[in-house]
Amino acid sequence: MQRVQTIPFFDYPYHYASRGEEFMEAIRSALQRGAFIMQQDLFDFEKGLSDLLGIKHVIGVADGTMALIMSLRAAGVGAGDEVIVPSHTFVASAASIHHVGATPVLVECGADHLMDPASARAAVTAKTKAIMPVQLNGRVCDMDAIVAIADEFSLKIVEDSCQAVGARFRGHAAGSFGVAGTASFFPAKTLGCFGDGGAVFTNHDDVAETVRVLRDHGRAKSGKVEMWGYNSRLDNIQAAILNVKLKYYVEDIDKRRALARIYQDLLGDLDTLVLPPAPDSDARHFDIFQNYEIEADRRDELQAHLSKHGIGTIRQWGGHMVHQFEKLGFASTLPFTDRVSERYLLLPMHAGLKDEQVAVICKSIREFYTGA
Ligand SMILES: Cc1ncc(COP(=O)(O)O)c(C=O)c1O
């Protein structure tokens, strides 16, 4: 018999139930207007998110993976090129590089689990065309260091900001640092829709124009096909749902940051854990806590203990970093990332999680390590 979790890792039904009437009204309105593809709700959403982030162009596309593929194409990445990307990421980051005909070169993450600049710099070759920092878990990499590497070797930056919509570094939004950045609106994301969805972010007019053409079969406004494109538009109904979500987004992020503070307060003294940087620990970073990823001694036993007490946790990417998937054929040696893969664990973190639930989770973790 399957155990009923009292604190699931993620509460999917909550995200509809929390504002059910508003969502139904938005969906009904789009249906009644017959507004399905490339309609006003999509354009309103693109404008609303662009205003919120302070990024000039937001282009709604089918999902985050397609956002990466089209961003790479707009950056001119193609056959024969290498792109540097951390191994601690969703396979989609590396897959997008593969699918434009280029080669992903996997590098280490650092102590905060984001791309390690020294490892990235050491991976540059004559073939390197671009660098793809992954703004993992809702935090932006040290972009001072990444931009310096890109400048030194004349590399393009394409950000995988799928987990960091609204996160900032020195006041600049994730997705705004290079040629383009990306969003995923997968349901469990901070700005999740009710299916698949994504966006490309860019401050460059020419890149925006290319992505708008690419997402619509390569067709320009004139209707003429200008390049090989894709059918990769964000559904108008998903955009209508996202317009509702967007109204509460700042509030939802505040909630996540408040939950992270509670985790920090209740677990910060345990030397058996490494917690993510606390929300206000570094003035350069504004983190949105897409995930709360810890490192834990005796990780597997801790996960089993929490599960026994009805608390859901997961290991991102099913517990495997990209270079560890043998069938993808990487020969990378990444000892730090290997060590993280043996220790990392995501604790529950979402806008519907209650403070009391975080207290229960922390109590259970303390019991595991201290017996008290
Ligand atoms: C870091 C990262 N990159 C890319 C993606 C791909 O996004 P999507 O699932 O919308 O294609 C995800 C989504 O899980 C992600 O977490």
Q: Which residues pair with 172 in a beta bridge?
A: 169
Angle, CA 194 vertex, CA 161 and CA 319 arms, to 5°: 55
Question: Taking a C-beta distance cutoff of 8 angstroms, is the pair 191, 249 a contact?
Answer: yes
The atom of ligand 1 lying closest to the CA of 186 is 10
Ligand 1: centre distance to CA 33 (Å): 31
* Residue 48 CB partners (closer than 8 Å, separation 6+): 243, 246
Does the C-beta of 165 come closer than 6 Å to ligand 1?
no
Tens of pLDDT, residue by residue, the chain (372 residues): 455 569 999 999 999 999 999 999 999 999 999 999 999 999 999 999 999 999 999 999 999 999 999 999 999 999 999 999 999 999 999 999 999 999 999 999 999 999 999 999 999 999 999 999 999 999 999 999 999 999 999 999 999 999 999 999 999 999 999 999 999 999 999 999 999 999 999 999 999 999 999 999 999 999 999 999 999 999 999 999 999 999 999 999 999 999 999 999 999 999 999 999 999 999 999 999 999 999 999 999 999 999 999 999 999 999 999 999 999 999 999 999 999 999 999 999 999 999 999 999 999 999 999 987
Q: What is the pLDDT of residue 3?
A: 52
Ligand 1: centre distance to CA 63 (Å): 8
Does the C-beta of 184 come closer than 6 Å to ligand 1?
yes
Count CB-CB contacts under 10 A for residue 284: 12
Which H/E stretch holds residue 145?
helix 143-153
Ligand 1: centre distance to CA 224 (Å): 31
Sheet holding 57-61, edge to edge: 57-61, 198-202, 181-184
By DSSP bridging, strand 168-169 and strand 285-286 are antiparallel
Residue closest by Cα to atom 7 of ligand 1: 64
Q: Which amino acid is at 283?
A: A
The atom of ligand 1 lying closest to the CA of 68 is 4
Domains by residue range for the chain, with CATH? 14-247 (3.40.640.10), 249-313+348-370 (3.90.1150.10)
Ligand 1: centre distance to CA 65 (Å): 6
Does the C-beta of 65 come closer than 6 Å to ligand 1?
yes
Does the C-beta of 93 come closer than 6 Å to ligand 1?
yes
Does the C-beta of 63 come closer than 6 Å to ligand 1?
yes
CA distance 196 to 109: 28
Q: What is the pLDDT of residue 371?
A: 86
Nearest Cα neighbor of 139 from 106, 163, 175 is 163
- Exposure letters 155-171 (e unless 16+ CB within 10 A, then b): bbbbbbbbbbbbbbbee
Angle, CA 158 vertex, CA 209 and CA 241 arms, to 5°: 65
* Residue 7 CB partners (closer than 8 Å, separation 6+): 310, 311, 312, 348, 353, 357, 360, 361
The token pair at 6 is: 């009292």
Ligand 1: centre distance to CA 79 (Å): 23
Pocket test for ligand 1, best of 61, 134, 163, 242 (most atoms within 8 A of CB): 163
Does the C-beta of 159 come closer than 6 Å to ligand 1?
no
Nearest Cα neighbor of 65 from 237, 182, 218, 224 is 182
Residue closest by Cα to atom 10 of ligand 1: 64
DSSP 195-218: S--EEEEES-HHHHHHHHHHTBTT
Ligand 1: centre distance to CA 90 (Å): 6
Does the C-beta of 89 come closer than 6 Å to ligand 1?
yes
Question: Taking a C-beta distance cutoff of 8 angstroms, is the pair 347, 313 a contact?
Answer: yes
